[in-house]
Amino acid sequence: MDVGAQRIGKIYAEALIDAAEKHGAAQGILEDLDALVDDLFRREPEVETFLNSSAIGRDRKREVIEKTFGGRADELFVNFLLVLNEHERLDTIRTIHAAYRDLFETRAGRLSVNVVSAVPLPDDQAETLRQEIRSKFNMEPVLCTRVNPDLIAGMIVQVGDWRLDSSIQSRLHAIREQLVERSNYEIQTGRDRFSSPDGN
C-alpha cells in the first residue's frame, strides 16, 4: 500500500468518523465497512473490481451503490460511498476501512495491532505481545492476526507507522544485505591492495 493512498484513506476516514460520531453511528459505520470489505469483497470480488474500474462511469456506479446498499446500510454510509464515487475515489475503500478502524479504536482508548505470523499465533504469545504493546503505547491493544507461511517463522507487528519485524524472512534479507556489503568491501580492498600508488 503506497504512502499516497494511505494519506488519502486517512483523510476520508477522519471525515467519515467525525460525521459518524455526530450522529452516534461510529460503531455502525465500522460494521458497514467491515461487512463491505471483509464479507462482500471477499465473497464477491467482482463487486470490488466493478467499483474500482475506471472504465465504468460514475452514473452506472451510483445506480449500483443505491440499489445494493440503499435501505440495507446506514444512510450516512451510503452517502459516503456516493461521495467517493463522485470524486472517483472508490478504489480507496480498503485504505479508508483500515484507517477508520485505527481511528475508531484509538478514540475508544484501544490500539489496532496488525500481526502477520508464519503460523497461527498461540494464545500465550498473543498475550505476551499484548502486554508488550500495552507497556510501549499505554493503550489497550486489539490484535488483528493473519497467517503468511512465506515468513518461514516469526512475525511482523504493525501499529500505525511503527513496525516490528521478527520474521526469519527479514533476518535472511538482512544477512544477504550484510553479505553483499561484505563482498563489495572485500572486492574493493583487493583492488586497493593490488593498485600501485601511481594508479598503475
Q: How far is 56 from 101, CA to CA, in rounded Å?
A: 29
Lowest mean pLDDT segment, chosen from 113-122, 142-151, 190-199 = 190-199
The reported pLDDT for the residue numbered 6 is: 85
The residue behind cell 516490528 is 164
pTM over 0.75: no
The reported pLDDT for the residue numbered 189 is: 65
Backbone angles phi, psi at 157, to 5 degrees: -115, 125
Q: How far is 128 from 157, CA to CA, in rounded Å?
A: 13
The model's pLDDT over 72-110, given as tens digits with 9 standing for 90+, comes to 999 999 999 999 999 999 999 999 999 999 899 889 888
- What is the average pLDDT across 53-82? 95
Instruction: Compute the residue count for the chain.
Output: 200
The reported pLDDT for the residue numbered 186 is: 66
Domains of the chain are 3-104 (1.10.520.20), 109-200 (3.40.30)
Closest by Cα among 72, 7, 55 to 81: 72
- What is the average pLDDT across 38-42? 94
The residue behind cell 449500483 is 64
The residue behind cell 469483497 is 41
Number of alpha carbons in the 13 Å side-chain half-sphere of residue 117: 13
- What is the average pLDDT across 125-146? 89
Query: With bands split at pLDDT 50, 70 and 90, how would you rate the model's confidence at 1?
Result: low
Q: Are 82 and 65 in contact (CB under 8 A)?
A: yes
- What is the average pLDDT across 43-62? 96
Q: How far is 188 from 162, CA to CA, in rounded Å?
A: 36
Torsion-angle region of 39 (φ positive above 0: left; ψ -120 to 50: alpha; else: beta) = alpha
The reported pLDDT for the residue numbered 197 is: 52
Higher pLDDT, 43 or 195: 43
Q: Are 110 and 142 in contact (CB under 8 A)?
A: yes
Share of the chain above pLDDT 90, in %: 50
Q: How far is 139 from 130, CA to CA, in rounded Å?
A: 10
Confidence check: pLDDT of 16 > 70: yes
- What is the average pLDDT across 110-126? 89
The reported pLDDT for the residue numbered 188 is: 67
Torsion-angle region of 190 (φ positive above 0: left; ψ -120 to 50: alpha; else: beta) = alpha
- What is the average pLDDT across 166-177? 70
